[in-house]
Amino acid sequence: MDRPPEMALLHPSAGDIFRLNSGNFDRQPDNLTGRQHDMIKEMDFFSENHTGRRGKAVRLSSQDHDSKDGSMKIDAGISTGLHLLTMNSSGSEQSQVEKRPKNKLIALKMEIVRISEENQKLRSMFEQLTRNYTALQNQLVLKMRDHQQQQKEGGKTNMSNHRLLAQQLMDPGPSGALDMDEPSHSGDHETRELSPSPSNNADEASDNMIPITRKRQIVEDGFDQTSQSWEAKKGPKLTPSKNTDQTSEFPIRKARVSVRARSEAPMINDGCQWRKYGQKMAKGNPCPRAYYRCTMAVGCSVRKQVQRCAEDKTILITTYEGNHNHPLPPAATAMANTTSAAATMLLSCSTTSKESLSSPTFFPSLHYPSPLATLSASAPFPTITLDLTQTPNPMQFQRNPSLLTPFPMALSACPQLLGQPMYLGTKLPTVPPMQCGNPSLTEAVTAAITTDPNLTAALAAAITSIMGIPQNNPNVNNTNNGNGNGGSPSRQPGIPGSPQIPQSCTTFTTS
């Protein structure tokens, strides 16, 4: 593609305009955004300090425009004009411009025309991209359906299907069924389906989530499902629905991620807003179970259950279900990615058979019962539990030293945590265990967990190490993907981005 008009300002020959117009621009890097370019251009035209130079540029631009050649001609004119500006500093130029004040108006009008043309071009490009995206999206849906049909006939699953399953399990609501395909800006869904894409960022995905998901739902099912939500009382149930073509292939309807953390507080601040909609006395537990629903957005399908452990009431068990259909704050995003990774790995390691889930050989590399991440196949829904409460057992490290490597390495990416007396699971021999019932420690850990995307990755790495999932598992990589909390890919080069996964909510509630 030809360089857009804004890019002309980035050209070395045009870079001088920054130094000429404003001292602030001297510090601008060459890789300015388009928005900044627009600002710079405006500054150029309306600067009172460089009338003469501007006049020169104006004249050149108008001349190019008079040629009535295409916009690229105009662009070249602007670039050339900017280049020439660096060469003129004589007073004769300025006086020459003052003799032609009308050129300013003409130039401004021409510039407006040029900008309008640029807008039209960009608009047409965007429309074209949208069309291409829709077409690819349709192809992807068709291919996925074909693929699923083939697998159903073949009687086996693969990782691709696991990802679909993970998406379906983590999102019982209608909006999440296709979030797995959350588009990157490349629009190449089939390619992204096979390989991780670093372009997925949770925040930017969230920004695009609602309209894109809506559109995709229309494509997928032929009608707009966005209006459906938990208000559709039958939605969360296991009853067959319009999604029968998907659920019928997977006996497990949805997965849950349970987080055990010590907290004296009755409720956890996990970055999301929750509304309590019910409370029940669960069997075998004197503590009631509270039911919460995400209220950050209308129709958000995420729910969570909060209950204290019957054996140890300092342990708060929070179970998440579903994924958000709205942008998340950074803290919530980090946790959402963690639980999403956990759920995805749960499903990646499993098959759709409950027998395999409950089999003692389910985790070949799991040489011991892991208190950090456990699975429950007996529950109505497959549940992965992230236990952040238990004390370390040095014997476990001795029994399987190979499992030591990933998690401490991942934790090393969280320097701010190493100085805190925190503990995650059983894999941190160098870190003292969290003191039971210490609110400050709990809060510190919670804050660290909820605000640090690196710890999210560390947690995912720990789970990965326990489950014996290869680190290059794209699903695992998702934990590092898309959190908007400053977790730039450059900070974690070993964990590239990956296709979008459902944003399940995560709770480390210790508010």
Q: Which is nearer to DNA, 348 or 352 (CB)?
A: 352
Q: Which is nearer to DNA, 383 or 454 (CB)?
A: 383
Which residues make up the interface to DNA (CB under 7 A)?
A: 230-231, 233, 236-239, 273-284, 289-291, 295, 303, 305, 380
The alpha carbon of 467 is separated from its chain's Cα centroid by a whole number of angstroms, namely: 24
Min CB(170)–DNA separation in Å: 14
Min CB(396)–DNA separation in Å: 31
Q: Which is nearer to DNA, 390 or 510 (CB)?
A: 510
Min CB(319)–DNA separation in Å: 8
Min CB(145)–DNA separation in Å: 25
Min CB(222)–DNA separation in Å: 25
Q: Which is nearer to DNA, 101 or 240 (CB)?
A: 240
Q: How many Cβ atoms are within 10 Å of 415's Cβ, its own excluded?
A: 10
C-alpha closest to that of 446 among 313, 271, 319: 271
Min CB(510)–DNA separation in Å: 16
151 contacts: CB under 8 Å, gap ≥ 6: 157, 158, 161
DSSP state of 379: S
Instruction: Please tell me the distance from the alpha carbon of residue 499 to that of residue 416, in angstroms, as a whole number.
Output: 28
Specify the residue for token string 């807008």: 119
Q: Which is nearer to DNA, 77 or 173 (CB)?
A: 173
Min CB(271)–DNA separation in Å: 15
Q: How many Cβ atoms are within 10 Å of 247's Cβ, its own excluded?
A: 19
Q: Which is nearer to DNA, 144 or 252 (CB)?
A: 252
Instruction: Please tell me the distance from the alpha carbon of residue 422 to that of residue 444, in angstroms, as a whole number.
Output: 8
Q: Which is nearer to DNA, 101 or 380 (CB)?
A: 380
Spell out the alpha helix ranges (H) of 311-405: 330-349, 354-358, 394-399
Instruction: Please tell me the distance from the alpha carbon of residue 468 to that of residue 368, in angstroms, as a whole number.
Output: 12
Q: What angle do CA 322, 325, 331 make, to 5 degrees?
A: 80
32 contacts: CB under 8 Å, gap ≥ 6: 9, 10, 40
One-letter identity of residue 211: P
Q: Which is nearer to DNA, 22 or 279 (CB)?
A: 279
Q: Which is nearer to DNA, 172 or 453 (CB)?
A: 172
Min CB(307)–DNA separation in Å: 9
Q: Which is nearer to DNA, 302 or 501 (CB)?
A: 302
Task: Report CA-CA distances (Å) from 37 to 17, 44, 86, 339.
Answer: 11, 10, 18, 40
Min CB(354)–DNA separation in Å: 11
314 burial via Cβ count (<10 Å: 0-12, 13-18, 19+): middle
Instruction: Please tell me the distance from the alpha carbon of residue 432 to that of residue 443, in angstroms, as a whole number.
Output: 16
Min CB(238)–DNA separation in Å: 5
Q: Which is nearer to DNA, 250 or 363 (CB)?
A: 250
30 HSE (CA, 13 A, CB side)? 8
Buried b or exposed e, range 270-304, using 16+ CB within 10 angstroms:
bbbebeeeeeeeeeeeebebbbbbbebbebbbbbb
Min CB(227)–DNA separation in Å: 15
What is the DSSP pairing of strand 256-262 with strand 383-387?
parallel
Min CB(302)–DNA separation in Å: 11
Q: Which is nearer to DNA, 338 or 383 (CB)?
A: 383
Sheet holding 256-262, edge to edge: 274-281, 288-294, 303-308, 315-321, 256-262, 383-387, 373-376
Q: State the DSSP string of 192-215.
A: HHHS--TT--HHHHHHHHHHHHHH
DSSP state of 249: T
Min CB(174)–DNA separation in Å: 14
Q: Which is nearer to DNA, 23 or 284 (CB)?
A: 284
